[in-house]
Amino acid sequence: MHFKLNSVTKKLPKHLHKYIVKQPYNEYTSQNQAVWRYVMRINIDYLSKVAHNSYVKGLSKTGISTEEIPHMEGMNRILKDIGWAAVSVDGFIPPNAFMEFQAYNVLVIASDMRTINHIEYTPAPDIIHEAAGHAPIIANPEYAEYLRRFGEIGAKAISSAKDFEIYEAIRLLSILKENPNSTQKDIKQAQEHVTYLQENMGELSEMAQIRNLHWWTVEYGLIGTLDQPKIYGAGLLSSIGESAWCLKDDVKKIAYSIEAANVNFDITKPQPHLFVTPDFAHLSLVLEQFANKMAIRTGGLKGITKLINSKNLGTIVLSTGLQVSGVFTEVIANGNNKPIYFQTFGKTALSNRDKELIGHGIETHKDGFGSPVGKLKGINIAIENMSPRDLEAYKIYEGNTICLDFEGGVKVKGEVITGTRDLRGKILLISFKNCTVSYGEKILFKPEWGVYDMAVGKEVVSAYAGAADLNSFADDTQVSVTKTQKIVYSKQELALFNLYTKVKNLREQKTVTEKNITTIYKDLMANYKEDWLLLLELYELTVKHNLPIKRMILNSLENLKSNKSYTKLIENGLALCNN
Per-residue pLDDT of 449-507, as tens digits, reads 999 999 999 999 999 999 999 899 987 676 766 677 678 889 999 999 999 999 999 99
Nearest Cα residue to 149 out of 105, 96, 204: 105
For the chain, count helices (H), then strands (E).
21, 17
- Output the pLDDT for position 433: 97
Q: Are both 222 and 352 inside the same structural domain? A: no
Q: Is residue 2 part of a domain?
A: no
Q: In this structure, what CATH number is given to the domain that contains residue 393?
A: 2.30.30.100
* Same domain assignment for residues 161 and 260: yes
Q: Is residue 440 part of a domain?
A: yes
Distance, in Å, from the CA atom of 221 to the CA atom of 254, rounded to the nearest integer, reads: 11
Residue 476 located in a structural domain = no
Annotate 360-383 with DSSP letters as a single string. -STTTTTT--EEE-S-BTT-SS-G
Whole-structure pTM value:
0.86
Q: 219-223, long-range: CB within 8 Å, 24+ apart, which pairs?
A: 220/246, 220/265, 220/271, 220/274, 220/275, 221/256, 221/274, 221/275, 221/276, 221/277, 221/283, 222/246, 222/253, 222/274, 222/275, 222/276, 222/277, 223/52, 223/276, 223/277, 223/278, 223/279, 223/280
Name residue 356's amino acid: E
Specify if 496 maps to a domain.
Answer: yes
Final residue of a domain: which of 235, 257, 289?
A: 289
Distance CA 54, CA 143 (A): 10
Residue 268's pLDDT is 65
C-beta of residue 275 within 8 angstroms of C-beta of residue 221: yes
Instruction: In whole angstroms, give the CA distance from residue 344 to residue 348.
Output: 7
Residue 474 within any structural domain of the chain: no
Any domain includes 242? yes
Q: Pick the closest to residue 364 from 333, 326, 315, 318 (CA basis).
A: 326
Long-range contact set of residues 443-448: C-beta below 8 Å, sequence gap at least 24: 444/341, 444/343, 444/370, 444/410, 445/370, 447/414
Q: Residues 248, 321: one domain?
A: no
Quote the domain boundaries for residue 556. Answer: 491-578
Mark out the alpha helices in 292-424 (DSSP H runs): 295-298, 300-310, 388-393
Chain centroid offset of residue 46 CA: 28
Q: Smallest Cα–Cα separation from 229: which of 276, 280, 279, 282?
A: 276
Where does a domain end: 225, 260, 289? 289
> Could you tell me if 225 and 84 lie in one domain?
yes
**Do 437 and 381 belong together in one domain?**
yes
CB atoms within 10 A of CB 489: 15
65 and 138 in a single domain? The answer is yes
Whether residue 479 lies inside any domain: the answer is no
Q: Are residues 184 and 319 in the same domain?
A: no
Q: Cα–Cα distance between 119 and 129 in angstroms, integer? A: 11
3-state secondary structure of 15: helix
Same domain? 19 vs 96: yes
List CB contacts of 205: < 8 A, sequence separation 6 or more. Answer: 157, 158, 159, 160, 162, 163, 306, 309, 310
Three-state DSSP class for 402?
strand
Give the residue from 289, 311, 338 where a domain finishes: 289
Q: Examine the domain organization and report whether 455 and 510 are in the same domain.
A: no
Q: Using a CB cutoff of 8 Å and minimum separation of 24, what contacts does 178-181 make?
A: 178/112, 178/114, 178/115, 178/118, 178/122, 178/123, 178/124, 178/126, 179/485, 179/487, 180/115, 180/117, 180/487, 181/485, 181/487, 181/488
Is 272 inside a domain boundary? yes
Cα–Cα dist 539/536, whole Å: 5
What pLDDT, on the 0 to 100 scale, is given for residue 337? 94
22 burial level (CB within 10 Å; 0-12, 13-18, 19+):
exposed
pLDDT tens string 13-49 = 888 998 898 888 999 999 999 999 998 898 888 888 9
Same domain? For 349 and 232 the reply is no
Give the burial string for 284-303 (b: 16+ CB within 10 Å, else e): bebbeebbeebbbbbbbbeb
Q: Does one domain contain both 285 and 306?
A: no
The pLDDT tens digits along the chain (579 residues) read 566 778 888 899 888 998 898 888 999 999 999 999 998 898 888 888 999 988 888 887 777 888 999 888 888 888 888 889 888 888 778 888 889 999 999 988 888 888 898 887 776 778 887 778 888 888 899 999 999 999 999 999 999 878 888 878 888 887 887 777 889 999 899 888 888 887 787 788 999 999 999 999 999 999 999 999 999 998 888 887 788 889 999 999 999 999 999 998 877 677 899 999 999 999 999 999 999 999 999 999 999 999 999 999 999 999 999 999 999 999 999 989 999 999 999 999 999 999 999 999 999 999 999 999 999 999 999 999 998 899 999 999 999 999 999 999 999 999 999 999 988 888 999 999 999 999 999 999 999 999 999 999 999 999 999 999 989 998 767 676 667 767 888 999 999 999 999 999 999 999 999 999 999 999 999 999 999 999 999 999 999 999 999 999 999 999 999 888 889 999 999 998 887
Residues 573 and 438 occupy one common structural domain: no
Task: Report pLDDT for 180.
Answer: 78
Q: State the total domains in the chain.
A: 3
Angle at 438 between CA 434 and CA 441, to 5 degrees: 130
